[in-house]
């Protein structure tokens, strides 16, 4: 007799797939090619990039900062956006030396603006496709592994003080997106407990790369973070001066989002994501978790 018991969903695999699908079809950056970059210690190479140097947010930031200029390619195909196809053709000399890892960082860092709430909403839409009590396997590279109900998840919001990196992104004839320029910023993640009566023990942050390489998980090899609550709080101390953990807010659901239609399509496209990962695995997030 064939068992009708469904195998648990795997949180790491879900995160891997959604973290591919979301940025590869992000409307703000769809078909956008990288044209210029600058940091606190390097200047822009193009006139378009140079206009950012006089922007108040860029001038007033005296700490670590990155700036990226993108321009949409009207001749682009329907292929997903990836770090490997983010550069224009031919590649400008001033961008020719960027390594695959640097391109990967820029790809997710730029698309991370307001990404935490977008990602929380995306996860909500994904789990809405299943019953609340569907079994969920949670595993981290630190060796934690347990199976719980998807309904144990909660949204955790906390205020970060003085983010340590400011990111300035300009999409020509598109928008300007600035992250980390204020003294405080809100950040949201999704927490999971081992049981309905338990406390949150594991955090999934699909937007961790908005803070640059400091947001990498899995020992620096992944473009999202799936880790213990303690490890998450340790990470907060790396990306910001501190956080108001005492007044952190928890909730079960997030309200309507302007991007709901797109995010629902992303949530339903996980099978497409698997096929795309087989084609472009090296472009996505590097090695999988330990098992």
Mean pLDDT (10-residue bins), the chain, 291 residues? 66 92 94 95 90 91 96 83 94 95 96 93 94 91 90 96 96 93 96 88 96 87 92 94 94 91 88 40 40 34
Which among 215, 211, 240, 237 is positioned nearest to 226, based on CA atoms?
215
Report the pLDDT value the prediction gives residue 290, as an integer from 0 to 100: 37
Residue spans of alpha helices (H) in 130-249: 229-239
Q: Are strands 166-172 and 65-72 parallel, antiparallel or unpaired?
A: parallel
CB contact set of 21 (below 8 Å; sequence gap of 6+):
266, 269, 270, 272, 273, 276
pTM of the model as a whole: 0.88
74, 87 contact by CB (below 8 A):
no
Q: Which residue has the tokens 């928008």?
A: 175
Whether residue 90 has a cis bond before it, omega within 30° of 0 = yes
Report the pLDDT value the prediction gives residue 270, as an integer from 0 to 100: 54
Compute the distance between CA of residue 230 and CA of residue 13 in angstroms, rounded to an integer.
22
Cross-strand partners of 9 = 136
Compute the distance between CA of residue 135 and CA of residue 150 in angstroms, rounded to an integer.
6
Compute the distance between CA of residue 228 and CA of residue 202 in angstroms, rounded to an integer.
4
Which among 170, 167, 179, 168 is positioned nearest to 71, based on CA atoms?
170
230, 90 contact by CB (below 8 A):
no
- In angstroms, what CA-CA distances link 66 with 57, 174, 178, 215, 251? 12, 19, 10, 15, 33
Residue 172's CB: how many other CB atoms inside 10 A? 15
Report the pLDDT value the prediction gives residue 255, as an integer from 0 to 100: 87
Residue 116's CB: how many other CB atoms inside 10 A? 22
């Amino acid at each position: 007799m064939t068992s009708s018991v469904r195998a648990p969903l795997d949180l790491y695999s879900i995160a891997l797939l959604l973290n591919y699908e979301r940025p590869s079809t992000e409307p703000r950056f769809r078909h956008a090619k990288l044209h210029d970059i600058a940091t606190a210690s390097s200047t822009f190479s193009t006139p378009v990039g140079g206009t950012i140097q006089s922007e108040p947010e860029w001038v007033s930031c005296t700490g670590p900062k990155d700036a990226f200029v993108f321009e949409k390619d009207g001749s682009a195909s329907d292929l997903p956006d990836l770090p490997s196809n983010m550069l224009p053709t031919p590649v400008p000399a001033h961008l020719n030396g960027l390594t695959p890892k640097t391109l990967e960082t820029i790809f997710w860092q730029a698309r991370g603006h307001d990404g935490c709430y977008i990602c929380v909403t995306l996860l909500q839409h994904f789990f809405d496709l299943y019953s609340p009590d569907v079994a969920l396997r949670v595993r981290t590279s630190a060796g934690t592994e347990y199976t719980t109900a998807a309904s144990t998840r909660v949204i955790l919001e906390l205020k970060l003080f003085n983010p340590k990196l400011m990111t300035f992104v300009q999409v020509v004839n598109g928008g300007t997106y600035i992250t980390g320029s204020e003294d405080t910023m809100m950040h949201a993640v999704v927490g999971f407990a081992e049981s309905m009566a338990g406390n949150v023990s594991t955090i999934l942050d699909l937007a961790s790369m908005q803070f640059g390489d400091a947001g990498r998980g899995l020992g620096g090899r992944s473009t999202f973070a799936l880790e213990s609550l303690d490890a998450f709080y340790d990470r907060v101390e790396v990306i910001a001066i501190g956080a108001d953990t005492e007044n952190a807010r928890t909730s079960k659901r997030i309200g309507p989002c302007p991007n709901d239609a797109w995010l629902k399509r992303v949530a339903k496209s996980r099978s497409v994501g698997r096929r795309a990962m087989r084609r472009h695995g090296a472009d996505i997030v590097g090695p999988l978790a330990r098992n």
